[in-house]
Amino acid sequence: MTFIGRSTEIKKLRSLVKLPHSTIGVIYGRRRVGKTTLVKEAFKDHNVLSFEGLEGQSKQKQIRNFLSQLKIQRPDCKQCKASNWSEALLSLLPHIDSSSSTIIFIDEFQWLANYRNDLISDLKMVWDQYLSKRNNITLILCGSIASFMKDKVVHSKALYGRTHLTINLRPFKLKEIKLMLKGRSSQEIIEASLCLGGIPKYLDLFQSYSSLHLGLEELAFSRNGQLVEEFDKIFLSHFGKNEHYQQIMQVLAKHPYGLSRKELAKKAKIPEGGQLSKELSDLQSADFIMGQTPFHHTVNSRDIRYILKDAYCRFYFSFIKPNLKEIDYGLENIFLDIVNTPAYYSWLGRSFEYLCMDHGKELAELLGFSAVKYRVGPYFKSKSQSAKGVQIDLLFDRADNVITICEMKYRSSHIGVQIIEEIKKKQEVLEKTFKKTIHKVLITKSNPTRELIDQHYFHQIIQVEQLLI
């Protein structure tokens, strides 16, 4: 796996070792985003003690496994039993070299802790009384369950004020994907990001294939393909067997333009109460879904629309899951047939809009107003609020009294003047509501026609390839 695009995180991790006291770093992020590999790369030249939690195992089995891992790395370790986490953690002390820095790396920390506070409380005691008194220890706690890592570790009373670095490791953006997929065409790089997102593990899988389509055919649409059962693996590790989480995601996959909380609860057949709030929060923390608030509303607004954010999950629900029987039966060329259908082109079009929404900062730089303070987000009114209803997925409300509205089109054919009528309706709504100058931008995969260019309707036209530079 490549480390292109992770240089900032590597520098931050290495800076911990240079501090004149012992430190704690916390890393969290979606599974397969490269957390473990990042730590290994950052500390490849250091003395590292590595531990990994076991999924779904008891506290005592976690402790035994912890000591077994220590014994493998330090054969002279004589501690083979511990009745609690304090004893297990104290067994580390004889194996910390006082003459050089030591990295203690605990991966899948939420599994090791069984999602409870016992380990965290004991870790606080051992850290305060022993480990922090050394000046050469860096403790890295890494986990894939963001809600646990944020609530129980970063913001916990036990470790409050003791963490020196927190990294929420995000998927790659287009520029990093281009560097990772060196030698691939712009078309393949963009389509790969639409289908798989910026998850390094997934992108790395198809490196050995001559094309993205052939890679996806084998990886996602053939028996034993790694991306066929990937959803079940990541989903179960995040949320166990709670069916509500999958119901929420499946419903959102069928409604790519999003649903309100009330609509979502009704369609997913889930009671609209406190439990739904927790489930939505967990899914958002894991970066699987996103709650969108209109840019002109406050952060605490209840006018929220939920969308399925994760690219692989959208691809899975749209194309892999509906074909699981055919895949199991061993049918060939399933995906190669899909790519020529209108449904696939339509899906790419909406996914392209998601991609642009995820590159707001980069678009502001391309459009030349990144130095101006701005708010970015969607604008929508339901039919109950507006006779016709209106939705604009990406606009910037700028401090210089301008609203930049972005129209995003992913087509193989040229973009013609017909698009002007679409934008005029949106422009009229915004002008009446906000009384600001409207700056119109077209973001497109294909070239605009000469007729459209001659109209000078759009202030700027951005080719998607510009986001790769």
CA nearest to 226, candidates 310, 139, 327: 327
Report how far residue 114's alpha carbon sits from residue 326's, in angstroms, rounded to the nearest whole number.
38
CATH of domain 175-354: 1.10.10
Q: Spell out where 8-90 has E strands.
A: 23-28, 47-52
Contact indicator for 203, 192 with CB cutoff of 8 Å: yes
* Span 32-57, pLDDT tens digits: 999 999 999 999 999 999 999 998 89
Strand partners, 137: 102
Contact indicator for 253, 244 with CB cutoff of 8 Å: no
Phi and psi at residue 265, in whole multiples of 5°? Answer: -60, -40
CA nearest to 283, candidates 146, 127, 173: 146
Concatenating the DSSP letter of every residue in 69-116 gives: HHHHH-TT------SSHHHHHHTTGGGS-TTS-EEEEEESHHHHTTTS
- Give the pair of three-digit tokens for residue 109: 């920390």
Secondary structure letter of residue 164 according to DSSP: -
CA nearest to 57, candidates 1, 113, 137, 133: 113
Report how far residue 53's alpha carbon sits from residue 48's, in angstroms, rounded to the nearest whole number.
16
From the number of C-beta atoms within 10 Å of its C-beta (0-12, 13-18, 19+), residue 234 rates as: buried
Query: Is 408 strand, coil or helix?
Result: strand
| Strand bridging mode 259-260 / 402-409 | unpaired
Indicate the domain borders of the chain.
7-168, 175-354, 359-468
Q: Which residues, 6 or more positions from 268, have their beta carbon under 8 angstroms from its beta carbon?
A: 244, 247, 248, 250, 251
Kindly state the helix (H) or strand (E) to which residue 433 belongs, with its residue range.
helix 419-434
CA nearest to 232, candidates 307, 329, 316, 109: 316
Q: Which residues, 6 or more positions from 423, have their beta carbon under 8 angstroms from its beta carbon?
A: 405, 407, 440, 457
- Give the pair of three-digit tokens for residue 236: 């179960």
Phi and psi at residue 165, in whole multiples of 5°? Answer: -155, 135
| Strand bridging mode 259-260 / 289-292 | unpaired
For the range 333-337, what are the long-range contacts, defined as Cβ-Cβ under 8 Å and sequence gap of 24 or more? 333/217, 334/217, 334/221, 335/213, 335/216, 335/217, 335/220, 335/221, 336/213, 336/214, 336/217
Query: Is 444 strand, coil or helix?
Result: strand
Report how far residue 101's alpha carbon sits from residue 82's, in angstroms, rounded to the nearest whole number.
26
pLDDT value at residue 383: 52
CA nearest to 453, candidates 426, 413, 415: 415
Length of the chain: 469
**How many distinct helices (H) and strands (E) make up the chain?**
22, 13
Could you say which residues of the chain have pLDDT below 70? Answer: 1-3, 298-300, 382-389
Strand partners, 47: 102
Which strands, in side-by-side order, build the sheet including 47-52? Answer: 47-52, 102-107, 137-143, 23-28, 165-168
* Span 276-321, pLDDT tens digits: 998 998 899 888 999 988 877 766 677 889 999 999 999 999 999 9
CA nearest to 40, candidates 140, 131, 114, 111: 140
CATH architecture of 359-468: 3-Layer(aba) Sandwich (3.40)
pLDDT value at residue 339: 96
Report how far residue 468's alpha carbon sits from residue 194's, in angstroms, rounded to the nearest whole number.
14
**CA–CA distance from 146 to each of 27, 116, 150 (Å)?**
9, 14, 6
CATH architecture of 7-168: 3-Layer(aba) Sandwich (3.40)
Distance spanning both ends of the chain, measured CA to CA: 22
